[in-house]
């Protein structure tokens, strides 16, 4: 119970702060990325498969074990500061080593240099410093090699060339809120249904959940196993369920409540025992990152509302210390999955601390010895994700911290180009793209990979601008431009009127897969001639995206982009039907969270199987939650057009709904949108925003004046925090 | 006491094995370099300065936290193997994950693949596997990214491109000999003299030593401080002694023996207390790496024998888990110091496990962000040390493990060349050379650095050959040749008839410092024309090395090379006088170990001061132990001429002694040498060896036939293990 109190304390501290520390507020600080990498090691190594430890197959990095933190001080009056550290440490004031490991330090008035050096092999070195004005905040810098040598006379080196980085932080704003002791929050949760048998009990928690199963009043002697199931079938299949926990030789003369050591994904728990064991009932502690749903959506269609709710639940469950792919399996951090979580999170939590942590964790440390997660496409999503995070949040300090690792990652990619300047899978590269039902070549130059590569170069160019690397910005932009030109020539098939899948040994394939065509629409990746570009867009829509005979996607992962692209093409009504059919299809099968894979053609136990295992499929997979993103971005229609929502647009589309309302979070507060067929209401907290819409009659606004623009109307949202109410007439009846 | 029993157990296990594990013998294995880096972190962070933690100022790396170990098995019969691991682990047999964390595994007869994957954030992942025939030995391989992904159907990847390395090991040949629990051996040691005062006692252990001070029968209440001194002055100077340990608020109602937590360098301990504290007496636990002195030297001059003994004691004290510079300060691993320890160790311990550990620890992991220890010259000693270790021991597996890190280190060096292909100190580079009493420029291109750079390229070329990288071998040899040509033109001054110190902004300085000239002799770094080369050698000898007006060396560090060079020039009698004067000088001042710095011109407390601190000087510094090397290599005259003493020469030189005898260790056993003015006796265990000597009359050998060669005689030592006895007549009267 005490333990849980601490969890709650930490959770509330977390909510009290911002995601990344505030200037002037004392907080625990560390070398940027170190806590994130360490935490991801802790988290990703929690995966088990039928009782066996199942860690990732890529390299896990570690924190720097010896870190020096430093700051310059200018004190009007003398003050005493308190110092706490995770690790063994020393303190230098103005270059003079202080005795012992001082937990308090008197600093006279005036200018000073304060340095604290911490060693910790097991956990990331971190410090907390607080005085009347002195505070360990995000203005401090850190280095892993201070190079402060002295000569034989005792003179310190004067050309150390030390590289410092701005420190990392979260919201551990109290000396007792030790970063390495962070735990997710837990909340007691009762079973919805309990089926008892002689030596077993099957418990149903009513929906997909995650946490620690708890046995109340456990007593007696014997062995006990909890078999977990995302489905009832899985929990009851002792031989094949993916996870279980065994407790051997229990001996409890007195009844006591017993909580399992590990948290697991489950809806069902099948508790099986022998001997004289007995217990009163089974409950659980729901373990979760206390993220607040800032985004909201409600509409006239209850099925869509239910889809949004289950998608939000899915994303909530898979947003742990970092964004994981699925909560049963793998509990790992995958870049392709995470990229979608970032995008969804922008319309639900906004600027979740999990975003930057996940980006740091995925990247790890130099040297780069592999693609991210070993997957070529996942490397590219990582670049795109970093820039998108900046676009949505405006978090420039994060890009500054990450940029050196972006450069070395891109150096790795560039070093692996073939003679045509393109990338093909080399030994050690996993070319993933998607889990597909049709044969798909992973050989040669995949058009999909080149497109993502090009987008990554563009993201690099923009991030280079953010950090002031103008030479880099130019170089990456030029590389992107060059690759784009080659791409259009290499992969556009005039015969198929679409982008083809790949080129092997110089020969263009004839296969048209959806992937490249989807991303071409999303990234506006067409010919420079606008007329030809428009024709390309149209032919992709007709020949690929809306063509019933084209190759079909069966993962929510790629459906994300497919529907994103169709909305980009204005096909909101079609997408609404698809959402209701696909996600509604899962709901119809009893889903309480969205799945890793869903194929309406499958039936029964087929829906549970994957990877050659009867319950291999994850029934709570982050990439299943895309309706949150689609409804926020394309129906409520809110998206930033300049970093951190300093500029944004609202382009609502009912897509067949009678009405809808919702909120989209921004760094400055939430943008509220209500749309019916005759009324639009919007409130925006800050930023330069425009509302775009169509109307069959001349619209009227309570504030400002509506402009006529090509293809509709525009209203500048100049009055911050005020509700704009427009009367109009939707094209939708 | 139990603790010490364990130390002894581990120490004896250590002595029982070889330095690096034996094929077929089950031993704890780890990723190569990981244990070494981890151990060096543990060790180097033990430094304190007046109670404050004082870690290094360079980057400390860490082990890989997730490592997969694997082997292929071919079993004639089924067997059960035992598995132990440091860390959380899983086991795969033929790709199939075994349940739980099995400590036993039944393996059927036949061909199998066995994989064990271990996660450990705090300590290096390591395993121990033992069955009837299966054993975790140095034939296993390890990787930090196995890249074993599976597709949606469950099929494992077939192009993983995983890079494996042969595992690292030492001699932990028992499952209970856990690598991370290794401790150095301890031996009780009594005080030689004890001076008691009212609230203090000064204890003298009679000679420089290292370990844990122990208070016998400590009781009462109060505070107690132990002030350590390498000199009596230091121990008595509470305000300025370099190290102390404070125990606050002790409260021992009953007398008990109390051992200090940290081991320290000391000869004297000044124990000071207050309150009612009392104790019977003070002793210590001498802490040491149980290295055996395989090398030996005795001669007709007792002062030289004493020098050899004190040098051996100095090297023994500074050979800890790794080779440290000094035992009081810094207790760090410095490449320049370690290089000399390696060379000395070849004539005392031979193939100490500390050599390879130190080379791994100095190098750390990629990426390279700095010179080794931040010092340019120290980078070069590291390359040279790696090759020399191979030359003396023939340890090819070590070079294979280290070579990838040699390549990336050299890439770093090559990337920092200036327009002339030479190196000058850039921001962040410490150009050290030596602690000198005269002004010495560290700017521009130092001839000394270019010479070492060239030698490093040669070492790289040879190591490239060892691992079969023929392209690398050629490239490094060409780079060395090119640099050598530039060097000779740039730095040979016809005016000074010597190599000058440096070139700044294209202008050659006129200063002649000893360093480059010494190394030119040692490495035979002269003109290609033999006649001119001989003239250069002679003029360096006369104008620099034997010129009383030339700039003088005051560190034993550079005296090492200076005397090495003079012996190379045949100046054995001169060097013998210098040894007696310089090292004998320290003995005359009461030294019981050799110092970091000794200047005969100084007096009294000056001998103790350095770095602006009254006791800053280390009185037990490894680089002070060079007589071991000089006497073994140049007087007994034994050195390998092909890797691992497969070929060697013995070129004895009495240098003024009446007689001498000694042993020089090799991988095959010890070479024994006795030399007087009329008799030479040698015994060699293996290898193709030649004895070279001069004689005023025709020599006679009991075995084999003596050949006449230019400038003396030669005898091939074809009979292994037999004592060759020669009668001859020395040129020395």
Cα–Cα distance, A727 to A43 (Å, whole number) = 51
Give the model confidence (pLDDT) of A169-190 as tens digits. 999 999 999 999 999 999 999 9
Q: How far is A158 from chain B (nearest CA, A)?
A: 9
The 8-class DSSP code of residue B348 comes to: T
Q: What is the mean pLDDT of residues A604-618?
A: 95
Same-domain check for residues B591 and B645: no
Test A611 with B100 for CB contact under 8 angstroms.
no
pTM (2 d.p.): 0.94
Name the percent of chain B lying above pLDDT 90: 93
Residue B9 has pLDDT above 80, yes or no: no
Question: Over 50: is that where the pLDDT of B11 sits?
Answer: no
Name chain A contacts of B147, Cβ cutoff 8 Å: 57-58, 370, 374, 428, 430
Give me the torsion for CA of A444, A446, A451, A454, rounded to 10°: -20
Average pLDDT over residues A249-272: 97
Contact B724, B701 (CB under 8 A): yes
B193-196/B700-701 β-pairing: unpaired
**Mutation target vs B (from A62, A409, A623; most B CBs, 10 A cutoff):** A62
Q: Are residues A145 and A203 in the same domain?
A: no
Q: What is the pLDDT of residues B633-667, one digit of tens each?
A: 999 999 999 999 999 999 999 999 999 999 999 99
Taking all residues of chain B, what is their mean pLDDT, rounded to a whole number?
A: 94
| pLDDT tier for residue A16 given thresholds of 50, 70 and 90 | very low
**Which pLDDT band, with edges at 50, 70 and 90, does B152 fall under?**
confident
| Closest-CA distance of chain A to residue B13, Å | 27
Domain tally for chain B? 4
pLDDT band, residue B487 (cuts 50/70/90): very high
Task: Calculate how close chain B gets to A157, using CA atoms only, in Å.
Answer: 8
**Rounded CA gap, B66 and B460, in Å?**
30
pLDDT of residue B501: 98
Q: Which residues of B317-331 are buried (b: 16+ CB within 10 A; e: fewer)?
A: bbbbbbbbbbbbbbb
- What is the model's pLDDT at position B554? 87
pLDDT value at B4 more than 80 = no
Q: How confident is the model at residue A155 (pLDDT cuts 50, 70, 90)?
A: confident
If you measure CA to CA, which chain B residue comes closest to A45?
Answer: B119
Q: Where are the alpha helices (DSSP H) in B492-601?
A: 514-522, 530-540, 556-568, 572-588
**Span A633-660, mean pLDDT?**
98
CATH number of the domain residue B316 falls in: 1.50.10.10
Choose among B41, B370, B427: nearest Cβ to A65: B41
CB-based contact B25:B171 (threshold 8 Å): no
Report the percent of chain A where pLDDT is more than 90.
93
Tell me which of A44, A86, A119, A556 to substitute to probe the interface with B (most B C-beta atoms closer than 10 Å). A119
Give the nearest partner residue to B154 out of A98, A597, A613, using CB atoms.
A613
Asked if A121 and B41 come within 8 Å (Cβ–Cβ), the reply is yes
Contact A145 B66 (CB under 8 A): no
Number of alpha helices (DSSP H) and beta strands (DSSP E) in chain B? 15, 35
CB contact under 8 A, A51 and B121: no
Q: How many helices (H) and strands (E) would you count in chain A?
A: 15, 35
**Considering the domain boundaries, does residue A308 fall inside one?**
no
Distance from CA of B55 to the nearest CA of A (A): 8
Q: Is the pLDDT score of B481 beyond 60?
A: yes
Q: Is residue B209 part of a domain?
A: yes
Query: What's the CATH number where A145 sits?
Result: 2.60.120.260
| The Cα angle at residue A513 between residues A509 and A516, in degrees rounded to 5 | 95
Residues A191 and A85 in one domain: no
Residue A607 lies in a domain: no
| pLDDT in the model for residue A20 | 65
- Which residues of chain B lie closer than 8 angstroms to A374, CB-CB? 145, 147, 149
Residues A270 and A159 occupy one common structural domain: no
Strand, coil or helix: A184: coil
Condensed to tens digits (0 to 9), the pLDDT of residues B340-355 reads 999 999 999 999 999 9
What CATH number does the domain containing A648 carry?
2.60.420.10
Residue B438 within a domain: no
pLDDT value of residue B687: 84
Beta strand A200-229 with A141-143 is unpaired
Q: Does the pLDDT of residue A12 top 70, yes or no?
A: no
Which of A34, A85, A118, A161 is the mutation pick for testing B, counting most B CBs within 10 A?
A: A161
Average model confidence (pLDDT) across chain A: 94
Of B144, B366, B612, the CB nearest to A154: B612
Least confident of A632-646, A668-682, B6-20: B6-20
CA dihedral A678, A681, A687, A692 (to 10 degrees): -10
Residues B268 and B619 sit within 8 Å (Cβ to Cβ): no
**Phi/psi zone of residue A190: left (φ > 0), alpha (ψ -120 to 50 degrees), beta?**
beta
Q: How confident is the model at residue A704 (pLDDT cuts 50, 70, 90)?
A: very high
Q: Do A98 and B150 touch (CB under 8 A)?
A: no
Question: What average pLDDT does the segment B254-279 reach?
Answer: 97
Of B341, B340, B301, B339, the closest CA to residue B320 belongs to B341
Claim to verify: residue B276 and residue B198 sit in the same structural domain: yes
- Mutation target to probe the B interface, by most B beta carbons within 10 A, among A121, A148, A157 is A121
In sequence order, the 6+-apart residues with CB closer than 8 A to the CB of B441 are B501, B502, B504, B509, B511
Band (pLDDT 50/70/90 cuts) for residue A10 is very low
At residue B416, the pLDDT reads 97
pLDDT band at B592 (very low <50, low <70, confident <90, very high): very high
User: Are the C-beta atoms of residues A225 and A247 closer than 8 Å to each other?
Assistant: yes
The residue from A253, A288, A323 where one domain ends is A288
> What integer pLDDT is reported at residue B159 of this predicted model?
59
Q: Is residue B640 within 8 Å of residue B647, measured between CB atoms?
A: yes
Same domain (yes/no): B62, B50: yes
Residue B537 inside a domain? The answer is no
* Average pLDDT of the residues in B492-504: 96
Mean pLDDT of B416-434: 95
Average pLDDT over residues A320-328: 96
Contact across the interface for A66 and B41, Cβ inside 8 Å: yes
Contact A66 B89 (CB under 8 A): no
CB pairs under 8 A between A and B: 194
User: For chain A, what percent of residues have pLDDT higher than 70?
Assistant: 97
Pair A492, A511 in one domain: yes
- Are residues A563 and A486 part of one domain? yes
Q: Looking at the structure, do residues A104 and A192 belong to the same domain, yes or no?
A: no
pLDDT tens digit sequence for A480-499: 999 999 999 999 999 999 99
Q: Please determine, for residue B728, whether its predicted confidence score (pLDDT) is greater than 90.
A: yes
Mean pLDDT across A354-379: 97
- Alpha-carbon gap: B351 to the closest alpha carbon of chain A (Å): 29
Report pLDDT digits (tens) over B154-186.
777 665 778 999 999 999 999 999 999 999 999
> Is the predicted pLDDT of residue B212 greater than 70, yes or no?
yes
Q: Are residues A512 and A404 in the same domain?
A: yes
B149–A57 C-beta distance less than 8 A = yes
- Contact state of A147 with B58 under an 8 Å Cβ cutoff: yes
Show which of B267, B288, B309 is a domain's final residue. Answer: B288
The answer to whether residue A14 scores a pLDDT higher than 70 is no
pLDDT in tens, B512-552: 999 999 999 999 999 999 999 999 999 999 999 999 999 99
Per-residue pLDDT averaged across A284-292, rounded? 95
Pick from A61, A62, A58: nearest CA to A370? A58
Q: Which residue of A has its CA nearest to B63?
A: A62
Task: Say whether both B627 and B650 belong to one domain.
Answer: no
pLDDT of residue A8: 40
Does residue B10 register a pLDDT over 70?
Answer: no
d(CA B629, CA B343): 7
B18 has pLDDT over 60: no
Structural element, H or E, at residue A492: strand A492-493
Cα distances (angstroms) measured from residue A611 to each of A340, A484, A553, A606, A618: 22, 36, 18, 12, 11
Give the integer Cα–Cα distance in Å for B165 and B62: 17
Q: Which residues of chain A are within 8 Å of residue B60 when distances are taken between CB atoms?
A: 64-66, 119, 144
pLDDT for residue A471 is more than 90 = yes
Whether residue B523 is contained in a domain is answered as no
At B676-685, the pLDDT tens digits run 999 999 999 9
Is B213 among the domain residues? Answer: yes
CB–CB of A90 and B430 under 8 A? no
Query: How many Cβ atoms from other residues are within 10 Å of residue A245's Cβ?
Result: 19
Give the tens place of pLDDT for each residue, A193-220.
999 999 999 999 999 999 999 999 999 9
Residues A248, A136 share a domain:
no
For residue range A124-151, list pLDDT tens digits in order.
999 999 999 999 999 999 999 988 887 7
Asked if residue A314 belongs to a domain, the reply is no
The pLDDT value recorded for residue A159 is 59
A712/chain B closest Cα distance in angstroms: 46
How far is CA B455 from each of CA B111, B388, B450, B459, B460, rounded to the nearest angstrom? 47, 11, 9, 6, 9
Nearest to A55 among B66, B122, B429 (CB): B66
Q: What is the ipTM of this complex?
A: 0.94
Residue A288 zone, left/alpha/beta (φ > 0; ψ -120 to 50; rest): beta
pLDDT at A407 over 80: yes
- Looking at residue B20, its pLDDT comes to 65
Chain A: nearest CA to B548, how far in angstroms? 25
Listed residues B162, B181, B200: the one ending a domain = B181
| Chain A residues close to B66, C-beta within 8 Å | 41, 45, 55-56, 59-60
Q: How near does any CA of chain B get to the CA of A89, in Å?
A: 6
A451 CB-near residues (< 8 Å, 6+ apart): A487, A516, A519, A520, A523, A525
SS3 content of chain A, % helix, strand, coil (to 5): 30, 30, 40
Distance of alpha carbon B466 from alpha carbon B455, whole angstroms: 17
Angle between helical axes of A514-522 and A530-540 (0-180°, round to 10) = 130
Tally of CB atoms within 10 A around A559:
26
Q: Which residue of B has its CA nearest to A118?
A: B55
Domain span holding position A691? 637-727
């Amino acid at each position: 119970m005490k333990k849980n109190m601490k969890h709650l304390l930490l959770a509330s501290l977390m909510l009290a702060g911002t995601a990344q520390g505030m200037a002037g507020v004392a907080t625990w600080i560390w070398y940027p990325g170190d806590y994130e990498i360490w935490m991801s090691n802790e988290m990703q190594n929690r995966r088990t498969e039928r009782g066996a430890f199942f860690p990732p197959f890529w390299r896990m990095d570690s924190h720097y074990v010896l870190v020096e933190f430093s700051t310059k001080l200018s004190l009007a009056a003398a003050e005493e500061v308190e110092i706490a550290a995770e690790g063994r440490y020393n303190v230098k004031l103005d270059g003079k080593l202080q005795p012992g490991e001082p937990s308090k330090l008197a600093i006279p008035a005036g200018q000073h240099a304060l340095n604290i050096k911490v060693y910790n092999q097991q956990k990331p070195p971190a410090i907390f410093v607080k005085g009347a004005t002195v505070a360990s905040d995000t203005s401090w810098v850190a280095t892993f090699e201070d190079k402060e040598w002295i000569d034989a006379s005792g003179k310190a080196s004067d050309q150390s060339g030390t590289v410092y980085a701005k420190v990392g932080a979260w919201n551990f704003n109290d000396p007792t809120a030790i970063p390495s002791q962070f735990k997710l929050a837990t909340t007691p949760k009762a079973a919805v249904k309990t089926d008892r048998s002689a030596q077993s009990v099957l418990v149903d928690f009513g929906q997909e959940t995650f946490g620690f199963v708890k046995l109340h009043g456990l007593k007696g002697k014997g062995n006990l196993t909890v078999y977990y199931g995302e489905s009832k079938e899985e929990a009851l299949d002792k031989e094949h369920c993916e996870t279980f926990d065994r407790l051997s030789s229990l001996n409890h003369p007195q009844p006591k409540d017993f909580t399992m050591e590990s948290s697991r994904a489950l809806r069902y728990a099948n508790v099986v025992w022998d001997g004289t064991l007995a217990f009163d009932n089974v409950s659980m502690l729901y373990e979760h990152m206390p993220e607040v749903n800032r985004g909201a959506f409600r509409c006239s269609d209850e099925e869509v509302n239910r889809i949004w709710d289950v998608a939000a639940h899915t994303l909530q469950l898979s947003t742990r210390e970092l964004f994981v792919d699925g909560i049963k399996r793998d509990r790992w951090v995958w870049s392709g999955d995470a990229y979608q979580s970032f995008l969804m999170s922008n319309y639900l939590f906004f600027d979740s601390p999990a975003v930057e942590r996940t980006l740091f964790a995925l990247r790890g440390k130099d040297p780069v010895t592999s693609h991210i997660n070993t997957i070529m496409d996942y490397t590219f999503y990582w670049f795109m994700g970093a820039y998108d995070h900046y676009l949505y949040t405006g978090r420039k300090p994060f890009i500054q911290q990450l940029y050196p690792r972006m450069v070395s990652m891109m150096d790795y990619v560039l070093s692996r180009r073939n003679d045509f300047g393109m990338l093909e899978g080399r030994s050690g590269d996993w070319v993933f793209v998607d889990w597909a039902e049709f044969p798909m070549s992973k050989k040669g130059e995949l058009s999909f990979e080149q497109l993502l590569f090009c987008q990554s170069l563009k993201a690099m160019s923009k991030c280079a601008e953010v950090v002031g690397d103008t030479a880099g910005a130019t170089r990456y932009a030029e590389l992107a431009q060059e690759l784009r030109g080659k791409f259009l020539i290499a992969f556009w098939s005039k015969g198929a009127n679409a982008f083809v899948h790949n080129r092997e040994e110089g020969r263009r394939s004839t296969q048209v897969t959806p992937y490249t065509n989807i991303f071409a629409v999303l990234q506006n990746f067409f010919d420079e001639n606008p007329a030809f570009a428009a024709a390309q867009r149209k032919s992709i829509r007709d020949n690929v995206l809306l063509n019933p005979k084209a190759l079909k996607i069966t993962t929510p992962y790629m459906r994300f982009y497919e529907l994103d692209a169709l909305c980009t093409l204005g096909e909101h009504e079609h997408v609404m039907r698809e959402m209701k059919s696909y996600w509604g299809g899962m709901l119809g099968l009893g889903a309480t969270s969205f799945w890793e894979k869903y194929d309406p053609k499958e039936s029964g136990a087929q829906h549970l199987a994957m990877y050659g295992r009867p319950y291999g499929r994850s029934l709570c997979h982050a990439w299943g939650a895309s309706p949150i993103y689609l409804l926020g971005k394309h129906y409520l229609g809110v998206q930033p057009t300049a970093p951190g929502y300093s500029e944004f647009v609202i382009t609502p589309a009912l897509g067949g709904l009678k009405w809808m309302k919702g909120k989209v979070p921004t760094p400055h507060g939430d943008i509220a949108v209500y749309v019916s067929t005759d009324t639009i209401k919007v409130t925006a907290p800050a930023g330069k925003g425009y509302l775009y819409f169509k109307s069959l009659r001349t619209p009227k606004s309570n504030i400002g004046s509506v402009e006529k623009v090509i293809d509709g109307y525009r209203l500048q949202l100049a009055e911050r925090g005020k509700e704009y109410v427009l009367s109009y007439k939707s094209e939708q009846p």
